[in-house]
Amino acid sequence: MPWGRPLPRAFFDREPLAVARDLLGRVVTAGGVSVRLTEVEAYAGTADPASHAYRGPTGRSAVMFGPPGHLYVYFVYGMHWCANLVCERDGAAAAVLLRGGEVVAGQELARQRRPAVRSAAELARGPAKLAGVLGLSGADTGADLCRPGAGIVVSAGIPVPEAAVSRGPRVGVAAAGEWPWRFWVAGDRTVSGYRPAARRAPRTTAPGRIAPGSAGGPG
């Protein structure tokens, strides 16, 4: 592998802010494609209103409560997958969302997986595109990235010096959106643009209607 040794589990067994900052420049390899990370976001489990783990373990967030160095892939907007790396000790529920990066190997495969993309810089710009070019989906949740011979790995890559690291609020996050827990490589074209949380559309259906079948359905 040309991207150096896979990162040890101890790398992920730290608070998410430290892991997120140190993930910049590292290389994620999966499904025949490698991406060098340029943009990530930290999520801090039960202490973080924006985290999927905020309200305690559920079927979806269970893997976040497990040991570090595992993959958490979730489905959103009815069509996209986004990939996280679980951090902190077993029992804590922190994770880092992979938001952007540069495709450094397997570009042809990546193009096949994202036919709509026009430029190389755009291939893995945005969390769903990044997970998409790597071929990740819910089936990969729970994968152990630190096991010898793992099919999905995070390699040492080339760490980013402090002077090149920028930090600011997380993208598209309503609750606790102002927390500056997003890290990116300053000026890099593979970093997605900032977007505040989407405004909710006004209600179109009147509230308080009685659902059909609610009175006398099958037991």
Partner DNA sequence: ATAACGATTAGCT
Partner DNA sequence: GCTAATCGTTATA
What does R_g of the chain's alpha carbons equal in angstroms?
Answer: 19
Which helix (H) or strand (E) segment holds residue 21: the answer is helix 16-23
Contact, 135 vs 142, CB < 8 A?
no
Binder to DNA among 23, 86, 130, 154 (CB under 7 A)?
130
192 touches DNA (CB under 7 A) = yes
43 touches DNA (CB under 7 A) = yes
Which of these, 19, 2, 92, lies nearest to 56 by C-alpha position? 92
Contact, 195 vs 171, CB < 8 A?
yes
What part of residues 1-40 is at the interface with DNA (CB under 7 A)?
none
Binder to DNA among 9, 80, 111, 147 (CB under 7 A)?
80
119 touches DNA (CB under 7 A) = no
Burial of 169 (0-12, 13-18, 19+ CB in 10 A): middle
* DSSP one-letter string for 95-161: EEEEEEEEEEE-HHHHHHH-TT--SGGGTTBSHHHHHHHTT--GGGTT-BSSSTT-SSEEE---PPP
215 touches DNA (CB under 7 A) = no
- Hey, which residues does 71 pair with through a beta bridge? 85
- Residue among 121 and 156 whose Cβ is closer to DNA: 121
CB of 210 to DNA, least distance (A): 9
Which range touches DNA (CB under 7 A), out of 3-11, 19-27, 154-162, 207-215? 207-215
What part of residues 154-183 is at the interface with DNA (CB under 7 A)?
170-174
Classified as helix, coil or strand, 64 is helix
CB of 149 to DNA, least distance (A): 27
CB of 167 to DNA, least distance (A): 17
Q: What per-residue string of b and e applies to 84-108 under the rule 16 or more CB within 10 Å gives b?
A: bbbbbeeebbbbbbbbbbbbbbbee
218 touches DNA (CB under 7 A) = yes
Binder to DNA among 119, 203, 215, 216 (CB under 7 A)?
203
Binder to DNA among 2, 5, 116, 162 (CB under 7 A)?
116
- Residue among 37 and 50 whose Cβ is closer to DNA: 50
The footprint of DNA (CB under 7 A) covers 41, 43, 50-53, 55, 58-61, 74-80, 82, 84, 95, 97, 114, 116-117, 126-130, 138, 170-174, 192, 195, 198, 200, 203, 205, 207, 209, 211-214, 217-218
